[in-house]
Protein backbone atom coordinates (compact mmCIF):
# COMPACT_ATOMS: atom_id res chain seq x y z
CA UNK A 1 0.00 0.00 0.00
CA UNK A 2 2.80 2.41 0.91
CA UNK A 3 4.61 1.62 -2.31
CA UNK A 4 1.58 2.68 -4.36
CA UNK A 5 1.36 5.92 -2.39
CA UNK A 6 5.07 6.43 -3.00
CA UNK A 7 4.60 6.09 -6.75
CA UNK A 8 1.63 8.44 -6.60
CA UNK A 9 3.78 11.07 -4.86
CA UNK A 10 6.45 10.66 -7.52
CA UNK A 11 3.80 11.08 -10.20
CA UNK A 12 2.65 14.36 -8.66
CA UNK A 13 6.26 15.57 -8.52
CA UNK A 14 6.78 14.68 -12.17
CA UNK A 15 3.59 16.47 -13.16
CA UNK A 16 4.76 19.56 -11.27
CA UNK A 17 8.03 19.42 -13.21
CA UNK A 18 6.17 19.12 -16.50
CA UNK A 19 3.92 22.04 -15.54
CA UNK A 20 6.96 24.23 -14.97
CA UNK A 21 8.52 23.02 -18.23
CA UNK A 22 5.36 23.86 -20.15
CA UNK A 23 5.44 27.39 -18.75
CA UNK A 24 9.04 27.75 -19.88
CA UNK A 25 8.15 26.36 -23.32
CA UNK A 26 5.40 28.93 -23.76
CA UNK A 27 7.80 31.73 -22.78
CA UNK A 28 10.54 30.61 -25.17
CA UNK A 29 8.47 29.43 -28.14
CA UNK A 30 4.99 31.02 -28.15
CA UNK A 31 4.12 29.24 -31.40
CA UNK A 32 5.66 25.88 -30.52
CA UNK A 33 5.29 22.84 -32.72
CA UNK A 34 5.75 19.11 -32.42
CA UNK A 35 9.56 19.32 -32.53
CA UNK A 36 9.80 21.77 -29.62
CA UNK A 37 7.25 19.79 -27.64
CA UNK A 38 9.08 16.48 -28.11
CA UNK A 39 12.47 17.98 -27.24
CA UNK A 40 10.96 19.57 -24.15
CA UNK A 41 9.36 16.27 -23.14
CA UNK A 42 12.67 14.40 -23.28
CA UNK A 43 14.58 17.20 -21.55
CA UNK A 44 12.03 17.41 -18.79
CA UNK A 45 12.08 13.66 -18.28
CA UNK A 46 15.80 13.84 -17.57
CA UNK A 47 15.82 16.95 -15.39
CA UNK A 48 12.32 17.26 -13.89
CA UNK A 49 13.53 18.08 -10.34
CA UNK A 50 15.65 20.98 -11.59
CA UNK A 51 13.13 22.58 -13.98
CA UNK A 52 10.85 24.11 -11.29
CA UNK A 53 13.81 26.12 -10.01
CA UNK A 54 13.80 28.37 -13.08
CA UNK A 55 10.37 29.96 -12.46
CA UNK A 56 11.16 30.07 -8.76
CA UNK A 57 14.37 32.04 -9.16
CA UNK A 58 13.49 34.15 -12.18
CA UNK A 59 9.86 35.03 -11.42
CA UNK A 60 9.70 34.47 -7.68
CA UNK A 61 6.97 31.82 -8.07
CA UNK A 62 8.07 29.09 -5.68
CA UNK A 63 4.78 27.17 -5.67
CA UNK A 64 5.64 24.54 -8.27
CA UNK A 65 9.13 23.98 -6.84
CA UNK A 66 7.78 23.52 -3.32
CA UNK A 67 5.13 21.06 -4.51
CA UNK A 68 7.69 19.11 -6.55
CA UNK A 69 10.25 18.79 -3.74
CA UNK A 70 7.73 18.04 -1.00
CA UNK A 71 6.19 15.22 -3.01
CA UNK A 72 9.62 13.82 -3.86
CA UNK A 73 10.34 13.81 -0.13
CA UNK A 74 7.04 12.03 0.63
CA UNK A 75 7.76 9.52 -2.13
CA UNK A 76 11.15 8.67 -0.64
CA UNK A 77 9.75 8.40 2.88
CA UNK A 78 6.84 6.19 1.84
CA UNK A 79 9.11 4.02 -0.33
CA UNK A 80 11.50 3.46 2.57
CA UNK A 81 8.62 2.79 4.93
CA UNK A 82 7.17 0.19 2.56
CA UNK A 83 10.55 -1.53 2.38
CA UNK A 84 10.84 -1.60 6.19
CA UNK A 85 7.28 -2.85 6.73
CA UNK A 86 7.92 -5.96 4.57
CA UNK A 87 10.88 -7.12 6.67
14-73 pLDDT tens trace: 999 999 999 988 888 888 888 888 888 888 888 889 999 999 999 999 999 999 999 999
Q: Is the pLDDT of residue 87 over 70?
A: no
34 burial (CB, 10 Å; 0-12 / 13-18 / 19+) is: exposed
Nearest to 68 by CA among 20, 25, 26, 7: 20
Categorize the per-residue pLDDT at 7 as very low, low, confident or very high, splitting at 50, 70 and 90: very high
Categorize the per-residue pLDDT at 13 as very low, low, confident or very high, splitting at 50, 70 and 90: very high
Predicted TM-score (pTM) of the model is 0.86
Amino acid sequence: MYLILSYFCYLIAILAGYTAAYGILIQMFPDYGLLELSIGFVGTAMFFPLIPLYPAISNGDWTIAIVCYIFIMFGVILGNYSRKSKA
